[in-house]
Amino acid sequence: MISDLSEKIGAIAELLSKKGYSLSLAESCTGGLISSMITEVPGASAFFAGCAVTYSYGSKEELLDVSHGTLMDKGAVSEDAAKEMVAGVLSLFDTDIAAAVTGIAGPDGGTALKPVGTVFIAVTDGKRTECRKLSLNGSRKEIRHSAAEELIDMLTGFIGA
């Protein structure tokens, strides 16, 4: 899986470079995993502006302008929060494309309404935003890696469109 994911990251890097696009990320449940993978690509600084690892409610509010109301009413693991995170990181880094991920990797933290493995991923260019809800299975590590791979696939489709 990792070599396949490395190939996908390489394809994203090629797409971004070819189109002259810059990328920023907001990561919560993946904790910087995706940005770490991207920075494995030589020359990533040509297209990758940075990542905000916003694990807490406070960091989501302060760094990404996620509304307190959204966090209180919908929770950090919600479509609304993911959309606000991706808009916030796009603005924070002033990039062409931004992506965000927020979820419950476990083993604790899940509820009946939002079980472990519930993840939201979002991508935007400031004009168009896509957001998906994922229901992932596995260990904490597997959920985090699956979320990263899903976001990379989403980015590939978004940039290639």
Domain encompassing residue 37: 2-160
Confidence of residue 160 (pLDDT cuts 50, 70, 90): confident
This model's pTM is above 0.85? yes
Please count the helices (runs of H) and the strands (runs of E) in the chain. 6, 5
Q: Assess whether pLDDT exceeds 50 at residue 1.
A: no
Which phi and psi (to 5°) does residue 52 adopt?
A: -105, 115
What is the domain count for the chain? Answer: 1
> Where residue 50 sits, what CATH number does that domain have?
3.90.950.20
Q: Which residue has the tokens 């600084």?
A: 45
Sign of CA dihedral 135, 141, 146, 152: positive
